[in-house]
Amino acid sequence: MSPRAGLDTRTLVLAAVEIADEQGIEEVTLAALAAKLGVRSPSLYNHINGLQGLRSLLAVHGLELLYEAMSAASDGLKGDAAVHAMGQAYIGFARQHPGLYETTLRAPEEGNPELKKASEQVLSLIIEVLSGYELGAEGELHAVRGWRSLLHGFAALENKGGFGMPLDTNVSLNRLISTFIAGIRSMSLGE
């Protein structure tokens, strides 16, 4: 079966992103994608390797967008300003793409070089920004885990409506990032 004119992998991924962001990642199925695009499900296999292949493509796309957002936000900045900018960009991405954001959370599976590359690009950017705090290689990795955990917790609670108090969530986010920075400043090399 030949591919349908105008239908390509990028079109499929962008349509799947819309479904994920509007309805949630669990609603991204081949049937839902085919219906959105006005095609039959079997025609999708000309461009993707099933649902798992689509989810992997979404994860790569999400990580690339996350990297672009954090890189652009922190470009030319160092230290605390760069960490704040990256954190705000991370949360901005999660706010703009709540469904796609979920695909960025898992460690890359073996045998997927595109996903591994996209994941390593994000990790390298974060480590580069944190390197100014002189945490050492192991300390930087612990700091990355802490940073991701804090920001993911914030994003998850916000996306699920967990912040019901009438306080500006951006103020809370800035205070959270500042607290993280104070914490990594207190870490000693090799701890």
Q: What is the pLDDT of residues 40-72, one digit of tens each?
A: 999 899 899 999 999 999 999 999 999 999 999
Q: What is the pLDDT of residue 189?
A: 46
Q: Is the pLDDT of residue 5 over 70?
A: no
Higher pLDDT, 3 or 74: 74
In whole angstroms, give the CA distance from residue 19 to residue 36: 9
In angstroms, the Cα distances linking 187 to 26, 86, 124, 151, 178 are: 39, 20, 20, 19, 15
Q: Is the pLDDT of residue 191 over 70?
A: no
Q: Is the pLDDT of residue 145 over 50?
A: yes
Q: Which of 20, 182, 27 is nearest to 94 (CA)?
A: 20
What mean pLDDT comes out for the span 84-110? 92
In whole angstroms, give the CA distance from residue 93 to residue 131: 23
Tokens of 17: 């992103």
Q: What is the pLDDT of residue 187?
A: 79
Residue type, 25: I
pTM of the model: 0.90
Whether the CA torsion 185, 179, 21, 159 is positive or negative: it is positive
Q: What is the pLDDT of residue 2?
A: 42
Q: What is the pLDDT of residue 188?
A: 53
Buried b (16+ CB within 10 A) or exposed e, 61-86: bbbbbbbebbbebbeeeeeeebbbbb
What mean pLDDT comes out for the span 101-123? 89
Q: What is the pLDDT of residue 109?
A: 72
Residue 136 CB neighbours (<10 A): 16
CB 58 within 8 Å of CB 102: no
In whole angstroms, give the CA distance from residue 159 to residue 153: 10
Q: What is the pLDDT of residue 113?
A: 92
Q: What is the pLDDT of residue 149?
A: 95
Tokens of 72: 């652009």
Helix ranges (H only) for 24-135 are: 30-37, 50-74, 79-96, 98-103, 113-130
